Amino acid sequence: MSAILELKGITKRFPGVLANDHIDLTLQAGEIHALLGENGAGKTTLMNILYGLYHPDEGQILVRGQQVRMESPSDAIRLGIGMVHQHFMLIPPFTVTENVMLGDETLRNGVFLDRETVAARIREISEQYGLQVDPHAYIRDLSVGVQQRVEILKILYRKADILILDEPTAVLTPEEVDDLFQVIRGLVARGVSVIFISHKLKEVMAIADRITVLRDGRVVGTTKPAETSVAALARMMVGREVILTVDKKPATPGEPVLQVSHLQVLDDRKQLAVNDVSFQVHAGEILGIAGVQGNGQTELVEALTGLRPIAGGKTFILGKETTHATPREILQRGVAHVPEDRQRDGLVLKYPVADNLILNTYYLSPFASNAQIHERAVLASAEELVERFDIRTPSVRTLTSNLSGGNQQKVIVAREFARPIKLLIASQPTRGLDVGSIEYIHQQLVNKRDQGVAVLLVSPELDEILSLSDRIAVMYRGRIMDILPADQVTVERLGLLMAGVQAS
Amino acid sequence: MADLGQLETRPTARAKPQPVRVSLARSALNALAVPVLALFSALVLSAFFILGSDPVVLTAYSHFFSAPGAALAISWKAVTDAYTALFIGSLGNPAQMADAVRVWITTGESKAMLTAFWPITESLVTSTPYIFAGLAVALGFKCGLFNIGAEGQIFIGAIVAAWVGYTFTGLPWIIHMPMTFLAGALGGAVWGGVPGWLKARTGAHEVINTMMLNYVAFRLSDYLLNGPMKRGGAAGYIPISRDIEPSAYFPKFFPDPIRLHMGFIVALGVAVLVWWFLWKTTWGFEIRTVGANPRAARYAGISVTRNFVLAMALSGALAAMAGAGEVMGVNHNLASAFSPGYGFDSIALALMGGSHPAGVVLAALLFGTLRNGATKMQSLAGIPIDIISIVQAFVIMFVAAPAIIRWIYRLKAEGGVEAIFTRGWGG
């Protein structure tokens, strides 16, 4: 094996932050090298350096033994380095062929796009690497998993043989992750070398040949899956012992807090997204709603929180009907809502942290009286919440957009958990967060349950559902397949229900 | 490869995120840098248009190769003459002003003062409607709404104020004056509120509806001035309304020829009020939240539609204050085409002021000064008044595309650095 790519002593400083501190990394030809680290550990900075977007302050980059200097991504591509970003760079109304040739167009007679030649080449690459991509399909018609393969195809088409995948599984369903891993193994078998960036321990253990762990801009160490364990990796990544399983006592359920009967909700296209759903959530228990994303969970949560009209059926909170209540009326019944998409729904990113901490309580005492906002009370409460929920921010006046994803989520958690609540509806509360943040938020959810709050947890992550829930409901195509006590289910049983297979 | 036990003990020098102190003065300077440099660049660029519009300069350039020095000298003179005239016309002649102050101190004679300070007070008079209308557009922006109907709302404000001003007679000024002003504002609130209501109810875009209501307002004013409101009845001579009662005047602060009136002070007061409303009240919080992220506003229990209507009505009221102020402080009647497009300029002005009341006031002062100086520039230096429109256009283009200004003057972008101030947690 020979090194195809070497980073030596790469250092990158930003004002106030040492993002990369003398990083050494060697990518062998034909290996899958995982780069593991929490958000903010310096992974993305390092990859941006490797992709020509940043210049290192110190250090060398060697490609195939030659020292190189990259001024832009086009230099990187010329050197055979391609990157698949977490957010795809595809144009939905264009075909696969058009997207692949974009920026590197093949012309016929010097004027016309030569789609046929490119399509033929795409078909060839697709077959060679087992990508199964139809060159004439429109991007908008493709599933996320296939779109990702188009991104990979774009890179292979440009004859790159060093592939950087930035958090590639963040947007995929479990089956799509399996498919992706198969594709990656196929690529490596044909001589491509892969850098796999992730903060998900199990995935890294499953796919990587070698794992390099970054923390605080430094390489903590390099290891192999066979020589380490998930727990050891977590410890390296976080820098302390991490409790991966949630420690919780058996639930002591009380009165029903949320009652849902025969609920029907339409989605944006006026199709029935929630179909005749009934369940109850009791005080002091966590009801987990499992299911592959897009099976009506989003619409269900929006309906329960008053953000989406209810087409049929009824909802009750603490015995009072809330079927047609406004979001504010529901909030005032003691409901907290951690929304699925925190940046879109839960925060105003250009507000200071302090303002986001009162986003839905700004009109209540002590923050306001007679329509006047009392800035001192707002700031004092913000200071206290930042302290209590350990929100890492330079100040409560810092714009929320400048916080990391985990800290943004903590702002929402602080706001929703700090007031007296009876019902907590948490939708994907740990989406995109790192291990430390996930651990923290899970603990907070269990604490709320132990305080007698009814918790409805919606998550496509089976691990999360299994480790937190007292009862588990599985949603499939808008219906609840079954509701089971958590201690009586197996992963296999859940998997079948999530796929729509009813137990015999 | 090192073993794991060893790695764990490796100390991690984790820097706790340091609060970044940026002094208020520095951030203010930063906020001003782009507009000020934009103005400077616009003046430089417009100089070329001044040269192009001057026949003497053009003739000199036809002999450029035989006498390049002369051509350049003439160019320099043309530009400096024009901008000197602009400066004197808008702010006054510093020497004359100093003289006048000396005369006033030594002899108590204030006549020279009135003449010397007339230009700058005229600039403030012109700035007054700009402040109101700029605040109107800025408040709309804060709610995510684009009110391009300020011009029409100005006309409605002027129509209502004029009618209330001359219809009610015998009232004491302490009642009549505020009543006239507020009636005008109320008219604008209705005129602006309608497109807001249409948007909330039907989703009809406010840009279309405010634009269309502009035409309705213009033609309504034409109709009224040629009929019901015409001076001397239907047989009157010119399309102009009766004069309003003196009890509805905005009082003037100085004797003639200085026209500076109370409307300017009211405008500054309203700017403070708008700031207080937007940043210190729950209503303002709701409007800003809807403007910044309507989905988050809905999540927070804020009625998006209600705030659309409210913001448009308030925006209309503010714009209408510009019209009422002109009637009450300057013209004392309603004439057709009394506004040279304050409402349209105010869109640009609100952009330049960053939709912040303080920024709007500064931008309004600048626009008022430029407009006022342009007249002088035309009479003294023979430069067409339209050059000022070109200056304004360039200012707006540069402000709208701050990247150009940052690039030309090598300014550091703000925010870019901040993005990495905070880091992951749990480590």
Bridge partners of A263?
A277
DSSP structure string for B73-117: HHHHHHHHHHHHHHHHHHH--HHHHHHHHHHHHHH---HHHHHHH
What does the block give as tokens for B13? 């020098």
A359 to B300: CB separation less than 8 angstroms, yes or no: yes
B412 close contact with A: CB closer than 8 A: no
Omega prior to A366 cis, within 30 of 0: yes
Using the Cβ of B105 and the Cβ atoms of chain A, whether some distance falls under 8 Å is answered with no
Which residues of chain A lie closer than 8 angstroms to B281, CB-CB? 371-373
Q: What angle do CA A245, A250, A251 make, to 5 degrees?
A: 115
Three-class SS of residue A376? helix
Q: Which of residues 288 through 317 in chain B touch A, CB cutoff 8 A?
A: 289, 292-293, 295-296, 298-303
Residue A110: partners with Cβ closer than 8 Å, 6 or more residues away: none
The third-level CATH classification (topology) of the domain covering B122-383 is: ABC transporter involved in vitamin B12 uptake, BtuC (1.10.3470)
Looking at the complex, report in whole angstroms how far the Cα of residue A199 sits from the nearest Cα belonging to chain B: 12
A394:B289 CB<8 A = no
Count residue pairs from A and B with Cβ separation < 8 A: 156
pLDDT > 90? residue B323 = yes
Out of A90-99, B78-87, B304-313, which region has the weakest mean confidence (pLDDT)? B78-87
CA distances from A45 to A217, A424, B105 (A): 9, 37, 67
Mark yes or no for CB contact B281/A404 under 8 Å.
Answer: no
Count other Cβ atoms within 10 Å, centred on residue B104: 16
Question: What's the rounded Cα separation, in Å, for the pair A103 and A109?
Answer: 18
pLDDT at B10 over 70: no
Picking from A178, A152, A174, A154, the residue whose alpha carbon sits closest to that of residue A165 is: A152
Question: Is residue B8 within 8 angstroms of chain A, CB to CB?
Answer: yes
Q: Tell me which chain A residues have a C-beta less than 8 angstroms from the C-beta of B291.
A: none
Measured between CA atoms, the residue of chain B closest to residue A410 is B425
Cross-chain Cβ contact B426/A327 below 8 Å? no
3-state SS, residue B237: coil
B424 — pLDDT class (breaks 50, 70, 90): very low
For residue A434, what is the nearest residue in chain B, using CA coordinates? B424
Distance from CA of A21 to the nearest CA of B (A): 11
The residue whose two tokens read 């891993």 is: A181
pLDDT in tens, A311-321: 999 999 999 99
CB-based contact B286:B299 (threshold 8 Å):
no
Q: At what angle do helices B111-142 and B357-381 cross, to 10 degrees?
A: 130
Per the prediction, chain B carries an average pLDDT of 85
What is the sign, positive or negative, of the torsion defined by CA atoms of B55, B61, B63, B68?
positive
- pLDDT winner (highest mean) among A422-436, B11-25, B51-65: A422-436
pLDDT tens sequence across A193-236 = 999 998 788 889 999 999 999 988 899 999 999 999 888 888 88
DSSP readout, B351-406?
Answer: HHTTT-HHHHHHHHHHHHHHHHHHHHHHHHH---THHHHHHHHHHHHHHH-HHHHH
State how far residue B175 is from chain A, nearest Cα, in angstroms: 28
pLDDT of residue A35: 93
**Sheet order of strands, A3-14 included:** A17-28, A3-14, A58-63, A66-68
| DSSP character string of A312-361 | EEEEEETTEE-TT--HHHHHHTTEEEE-SSIIIII--TTSBHHHHTTTTT
What is the rounded distance in angstroms from the CA atom of residue A427 to the CA atom of residue A465?
11
Q: Look-up: residue for tokens 């391609």?
A: A82
Supply A478's token pair.
Answer: 């808008």
A14 contacts on B by Cβ (under 8 Å): 417, 420
More confident site: A415 or A392: A415
DSSP H or E segment with residue A264: strand A256-266
B215-221 CB contacts, 8 Å cutoff, 24+ apart: B215/B152, B216/B152, B217/B149, B217/B151, B217/B152, B217/B153, B217/B155, B217/B156, B217/B191, B218/B152, B218/B155, B220/B155, B220/B156, B220/B159, B221/B155, B221/B158, B221/B159, B221/B334, B221/B336
Residue A220 in contact with residue A236, Cβ under 8 Å? yes
**What residues of chain A lie within 8 A of the CB of B285, using their CB?**
355, 362, 373
Six token digits for residue A435: 């291990």
Element (H, E) at B275: helix B262-280
Mutation test of the interface with chain B: which of A26, A302, A362, choosing the one with the most B Cβ atoms within 10 A? A362
The residue type of B342 is Y
Query: How far apart, in whole angstroms, are the C-alpha atoms of residue B350 and residue B412?
Result: 24
Using one digit for the tens of pLDDT, what is the confidence trace for A15-64? 767 889 999 999 999 999 999 987 778 888 898 899 888 889 999 999 99
Coil, strand or helix: which one is B240? strand
pLDDT at B412 over 70: no
Percent of chain B residues past pLDDT 90, beyond the cut: 50
- Whether A152 shows a pLDDT value over 60: the answer reads yes
Calpha distance B328→B244 (Å, rounded) = 8
What is the arithmetic mean of pLDDT over B178-203? 96
Q: Do B292 and A437 touch (CB under 8 A)?
A: no
Residues paired with A265 in a beta bridge: A274
Query: Hey, is the C-beta of B252 within 8 angstroms of any chain A C-beta?
Result: no
Give chain B positions within 8 Å (CB) of A239. Answer: 12, 14, 427
Helix (H, G, I), strand (E, B) or coil at A176: helix
Dist CA B319 CA B309 (whole Å): 15
A339/B293 touch (CB, cutoff 8 Å), yes or no: no
> What distance in Å separates the CA atoms of residue B333 and residue A307, rounded to the nearest whole number?
51
CB half-sphere exposure, A24, CA atoms < 13 A: 6
Residues of A in contact with B15 (CB under 8 A): 17-18, 216
Q: What does the domain layout of chain B look like in residue ranges?
A: 122-383
With beta carbons less than 8 A apart as the criterion, state whether A164 and A83 touch: yes
According to DSSP, the β-strands at A335-338 and A423-427 are parallel
Chain A contact for B237 (CB, 8 A cutoff): no
Nearest Cα to A340, choosing from A242, A481, A460, A256? A460
- Closest CB from B4, B285, B292 relative to A221: B4
Q: What proportions of chain B, in percent to the nearest 5, are helix, strand and coil?
A: 75, 0, 25
Average pLDDT over residues A138-160: 89
The 3-state secondary structure of B6-49, one letter per residue:
HHHHCCCCCCCCCCCCCCHHHHHHHHHHHHHHHHHHHHHHHHHH
Q: Which of B364, B379, B121 is nearest to B261 (CA)?
A: B121
Is ipTM strictly over 0.85? no
Residue B427 has pLDDT above 60, yes or no: no
Indicate if the pLDDT at residue A288 is higher than 90: yes
Q: What is the pLDDT of residues A60-82, one digit of tens each?
A: 999 999 999 888 888 898 999 99
How far apart are the C-alpha atoms of A184 and A209, rounded to whole Å? 12
- Please write the tens of the pLDDT for every residue from B57-89: 888 787 778 778 888 888 888 888 888 888 888
- Give, to the nearest 10 degrees, the angle between helix B68-91 and helix B111-142: 90
Residue pair B190/B124 in contact by the 8 Å Cβ criterion: no
Closest-CA distance, B23 to chain A, in angstroms, reads 13
Structure tokens at A36: 């593991």
Write the DSSP symbol of residue B229: T
pLDDT at B102 over 80: yes
Q: Which of B2, B282, B420 sits opposite A373 (nearest CB)?
A: B282
**All domains of chain A, ordered by start, with CATH?**
3-238 (3.40.50.300), 246-334+420-504 (3.40.50.300), 348-419 (no CATH)
Contact A359 B296 (CB under 8 A): yes
Read off the pLDDT of residues B36-53 as tens digits, 9 standing for 90 and up: 888 888 889 888 888 888
What's the DSSP call for residue B242?
A: P
Task: State how far the Cα of A29 lies from the Cα of A194, in Å rounded to an integer.
Answer: 9
- Average pLDDT on A243-247 reads 70
**Among candidates B134, B162, B127, which has minimal Cα distance to B324?**
B162
CA-to-CA dists, residue B159 to A357, B193, B229, angstroms = 45, 17, 9
CA nearest to A45, candidates A34, A53, A33, A35: A53
List chain A residues with CB under 8 Å of B412. none
Residue B416 pLDDT > 60: no
Q: Which of residues 13-32 of B touch A (CB under 8 A)?
A: 13-15, 17-20
The verdict on a CB contact (< 8 Å) between A398 and B13 is no
Cβ contacts of B12 on chain A, cutoff 8 Å: 215-216, 218, 239
Strand A471-476 and strand A286-290: pairing? parallel
Could you tell me which of A320, A291, A20 has the C-alpha nearest to residue A173? A291
CB atoms inside a 10 Å sphere around CB B13: 9
Per-residue pLDDT at B331: 93
Task: Determine if the peptide bond prior to B257 is cis (ω within 30°).
Answer: yes
Q: Are the C-beta atoms of residues B86 and B374 closer than 8 Å to each other?
A: yes
Hey, which residues does A215 pair with through a beta bridge?
A: A218
